[in-house]
Amino acid sequence: MLPCSIVSTSIALPGISGIESFIDLLRHTPLEFSTDTVDLPASDLLPIRLKRRMSRLIQMTVSTTFQARQSCAGSADAPLVYGSANGEINTIGSVLNEIFQEPPLVSPSAFHNSVHNSAPGYWSILTRLHHASTTISAGETTFGCALLQAAAMLSDRDPFVQLTVGDEKIQVPQWADPGHTNIDFCGSMVLSRHTSGDALAHIIDLRHMHGPEATEYQKEAHPIRIASGYRHPCAAFYVLLEFLHAPSSSGRIKLVEGDPESGCIGMTIERS
């Protein structure tokens, strides 16, 4: 695996849309959110007609993907790796409610919005881009596996790859373990195979591991959580964004997702 660089980022969190407001948030310790869901305003990118049809996850994905790409010249055709543990679980929940009504009447738009890759689909429709795109899900290692995939694309041939990872708070289906994801969060970054220049940071180690190697790696790793009381499958990405943008952070951070028995993704990132 080639070392690679993080050249731009963006984030959506409750009350936060974009890096500038995120940096403001990081000045508050401990982090506090007045709500656990994201409500983005309608915009040129999210026209009100389409916004009404989109889940919060789709809105967050489109917005963060746009912002990160806008900050990186040359990445317009970059492939998109999209990671989400639960995908459109709230929409699936509403479709399941509909099919058990009598007669079962499913909304066509709810049905096509229920597929896991709805968000990257909308992104390409809104931007009319023809890039390659894939969607990955791996529970608590969703971010790490998506990053492995993005890095593999870079080492293959692509100069830039965009990685967007997110999940929305589970609300509709009670069977889907709502406590597992109780806050909206989505983040995006553009990765470059070039490690020089004005990169935000460099990924100097990225690997899958298990057993004693993973246990050792974990000992030095940074704790993974967004804020007290909140659980999110992609929290490691939040911690990475915090490391990249908190005024006080410097040097390296080591992150591990997963557990040593079933397998971990470990990564070390160094700020430029």
C-beta closer to another protein: residue 73 or 125? 125
Closest contact distance (angstroms) between CB of 24 and another protein is 34
C-beta separation of 4 from 151 below 8 A: yes
Closest contact distance (angstroms) between CB of 81 and another protein is 9
Amino acid identity for residue 62 in this structure: V
- Which residues contact another protein (rule: CB under 8 A)? 1, 79, 85-87, 92, 95-96, 98-100, 104-109, 111-118, 120-122, 124-125, 127-139, 141-142, 145-146, 148-149, 151-153, 155-156, 173-177, 180, 207-211, 262-263, 265
C-beta closer to another protein: residue 20 or 177? 177
Closest contact distance (angstroms) between CB of 269 and another protein is 18
16 in helix, strand or coil? Answer: strand
From residue 150, alpha-carbon distances to 21, 190, 234 in Å are: 27, 10, 16
Closest contact distance (angstroms) between CB of 234 and another protein is 12
First to last CA, the chain: 20
C-beta separation of 159 from 210 below 8 A: no
Closest contact distance (angstroms) between CB of 104 and another protein is 5
| Residue 89 to residue 93: CA distance in whole angstroms | 6
- CB atoms under 10 Å from CB of 39, counted, come to 11
C-beta closer to another protein: residue 112 or 194? 112
DSSP 178: G
C-beta closer to another protein: residue 86 or 164? 86
- Which residue do the tokens 């489109």 mark? 62
C-beta closer to another protein: residue 63 or 91? 91
